[in-house]
Amino acid sequence: MAVQISPSILSADFARLADEAAAVPNADWLHVDVMDNHFVPNLTLGLPIVEALLKATSTPIDCHLMIENPDRWAPGYAEVGAGSVTIHAEAAKSPVRTLRQIRSLGARAGFALNPATPVEPYEDLLGEIDMLLLMTVDPGFGGQPFLDMVLPKVRRARALIERHGGQVWLQVDGGVASDTIERCAEAGADVFVAGSAVYGADDPASAIDRLRALASR
């Protein structure tokens, strides 16, 4: 499994996003947390800023939509050129239609589960997605402590993915840092979102190198 690191710009300086993207040339993705103050109790950014970022960086954009009604809004992010668009199970009313739309617009389709949402009911969706995101904190804020209780689900999800051909990437997001990333990798994750562990570091690019080395052990 190839390890991929997706630094979250939620912990970056929002006034200098182009510079912050340039500070992580070794990132596989730039993780962009879209929050609407309804699905989660926080408000961040939306489509116009994603469009601006796409012009400012060649790193592919990994949009994590923590919003109500993703069925209405998610295709727009694929349309403007996000490389990956992830919707939440708890918010989507027509996940199959929406995931198919995301794919037909040329983006990878991601499907996210909160810590308290079980993975088993979604086994039949594995053929419709390119990435499963298992949240390792309740979404809404950066810098929250990693929830070890999610690790058994990461293991079960990895087993389900392997049973279905092993194509789907398994992403973890929340509290992923040098003291937790090895546990996530060992449980079967292969795409790692890290906000404060990257942008809180003096040298974000070296932080990515360190995380990648730990996850690859």
Which among 62, 130, 173, 190 is annotated as catalytic?
A: 173
Q: Give the length of the chain.
A: 217
The residue nearest ligand DX5 at its CB is: 195
Contact predicate 63/82, CB 8 Å: yes
Does residue number 33 form part of the binding site for Zn ion (CB under 5 A)?
yes
Contact predicate 119/157, CB 8 Å: yes
Q: Exposed, middle or buried, 180 (CB in 10 Å: 0-12/13-18/19+)?
A: buried
Q: Which of 20, 130, 173, 190 binds Zn ion (CB under 5 A)?
A: 173
Does residue number 130 form part of the binding site for Zn ion (CB under 5 A)?
no
Shortest Cβ 29–ligand DX5 spacing (Å): 11
| Token pair of 24 as six digits | 């992580």
Q: Which amino acid is at 62?
A: D
Q: Which is nearer to Zn ion, 28 or 173 (CB)?
A: 173
Shortest Cβ 164–ligand DX5 spacing (Å): 25
Q: Which is nearer to ligand DX5, 122 or 146 (CB)?
A: 146
Shortest Cβ 104–ligand DX5 spacing (Å): 25
Q: Which is nearer to ligand DX5, 100 or 147 (CB)?
A: 147
Phi, psi of 92 (to 5 degrees): -80, 135
Active-site annotation holds for 71:
no
Does residue number 64 form part of the binding site for Zn ion (CB under 5 A)?
yes
Q: Which long-range contacts (CB under 8 A, 24 or more apart) does 11-20 make?
A: 11/142, 11/143, 11/195, 11/196, 11/198, 11/199, 11/200, 12/199, 13/199, 14/45, 17/49, 17/52, 17/53, 17/56, 18/53, 18/56, 18/57, 20/199, 20/204
Shortest Cβ 187–ligand DX5 spacing (Å): 17
Active-site annotation holds for 62:
no
Contact predicate 107/82, CB 8 Å: yes
Q: Which is nearer to ligand DX5, 46 or 124 (CB)?
A: 46
Q: Which is nearer to ligand DX5, 46 or 143 (CB)?
A: 143
Q: Which stretch binds Zn ion (CB under 5 A): 26-34, 46-54, 124-132, 182-190?
A: 26-34
> Which residues contact Zn ion (rule: CB under 5 A)?
33, 64, 173
